[in-house]
Amino acid sequence: MTVVVGTAGHIDHGKTTLLRALTGIDADRLPEEKARGMTIDVGYAHLTLPDGDVLDFVDVPGHDRLVGNMLVGAGEVDAAMLVVAADDGPRAQTREHLQLLDALAIAHGIVVITKTDVLAPGDPRRATTMAAVADMVAGTTLARAPLISVSATTGEGLDRVRDALLALRDTVAPEVIAREGPARLAIDRVFTIRGRGAVVTGSLRGGVLEQGQVVRIEPGGLRARIREIQARNRPTDRATGGRAALNLAGVDAEELRRGMVVAPVDDRVLMASDRILVTLRPPAPRPGLELRLHLGTAEAGATIGRGQRERVGLPSGDVTAVLRLDRPIAALAGGRFALRSGAAVIGGRVIDADPPRGPSRRRVTAARMAALADAETRTDRDAARLDLHGAIGGTNGGPLLAGDVEAALDAAALASVSDHHASEPDSAGLSLADVRPMLARALRRLVAIDARSANAAIDDRIGRLVASGRLARDGDRIRDPSRTAGLPPAALDAMGRLEALLAVNGPPPLSDAARTARCPAEGIRALEVAGRIVRLEPDLAYASVTFADLQALAVSMARVRPLTPAAFRDATGTSRRYVMALLEELGRRGALVRTDAGHVPGPRAGPS
pLDDT at position 37 is: 40
pLDDT at position 66 is: 44
CB atoms within 10 A of CB 51: 8
Model-level pTM greater than 0.85?
A: no
Q: How confident is the model at residue 396 (pLDDT cuts 50, 70, 90)?
A: low
What does each C-alpha distance from 502 to 496, 511, 517 come to in angstroms? 10, 11, 11
CB atoms within 10 A of CB 481: 16
- Nearest in space to 355 (alpha carbons), one of 261, 448, 217: 448
**What is the C-alpha end-to-end distance of the chain, expressed in Å?**
87
Q: How confident is the model at residue 13 (pLDDT cuts 50, 70, 90)?
A: confident
pLDDT at position 279 is: 94
pLDDT at position 126 is: 82
User: Mutual orientation of helices 92-103 and 124-137 as an angle, nearest 10°?
Assistant: 30
Q: Which residues contact 68 (CB under 8 A, 6 or more apart)?
A: 292, 294, 299
pLDDT at position 127 is: 86
Dist. CA 172–CA 541, nearest whole Å: 81
Q: How confident is the model at residue 582 (pLDDT cuts 50, 70, 90)?
A: very high
**Considering the chain, what is the average pLDDT of its residues?**
87
- DSSP percent split of the chain into helix, strand, coil, nearest 5: 40, 30, 35
The pLDDT of residue 587 is above 70: yes
Q: How confident is the model at residue 263 (pLDDT cuts 50, 70, 90)?
A: very high
CB atoms within 10 A of CB 272: 18
Identify the DSSP state of 270. -
Write the CATH number of the domain with boundaries 184-264: 2.40.30.10
CATH superfamily ID and name for 3-177: P-loop containing nucleotide triphosphate hydrolases (3.40.50.300)
Write the CATH number of the domain with boundaries 271-389: 2.40.30.10
Across the range 556-584, mean pLDDT stands at 93
For 568-581, the pLDDT digits (tens) are 999 999 999 999 99
Beta-bridge mates of residue 239: 209
Identify the DSSP state of 317. S
Dist. CA 175–CA 194, nearest whole Å: 39
- 46-60, 63-77, 490-504: lowest mean pLDDT where? 63-77
Across the range 91-120, mean pLDDT stands at 87
For 421-445, the pLDDT digits (tens) are 888 876 778 888 889 999 999 999 9
Report strand pairing: 234-236 vs 242-249.
unpaired
Identify the DSSP state of 563. B
Beta-bridge mates of residue 245: 201, 230
What sign results for the dihedral spanned by CA atoms 148, 175, 68, 348? negative
Task: Find out if CATH 1.10.10.10 is the number for domain 489-601.
Answer: yes
> Please, are residues 376 and 433 in contact by the beta-carbon 8 Å criterion?
no
Q: What angle do CA 471, 473, 478 make, to 5 degrees?
A: 70
Inter-residue long-range contacts of 63-67, CB under 8 Å, 24+ positions, other chains counted: 63/11, 63/38, 63/93, 64/11, 64/92, 64/93, 64/96, 66/40, 66/41, 67/93, 67/96, 67/100, 67/340
pLDDT at position 212 is: 94
CB atoms within 10 A of CB 412: 19
Q: Which amino acid is at 99?
A: Q
- Nearest in space to 169 (alpha carbons), one of 336, 52, 4: 4
The pLDDT of residue 447 is above 70: yes
SS3 letters across 89-128: CCCHHHHHHHHHHHHCCCCCEEEEEECHHHCCCCCHHHHH
Share of the chain above pLDDT 90, in %: 50
The pLDDT of residue 566 is above 90: yes
> Please, are residues 337 and 302 in contact by the beta-carbon 8 Å criterion?
no
> Please, are residues 520 and 424 in contact by the beta-carbon 8 Å criterion?
yes
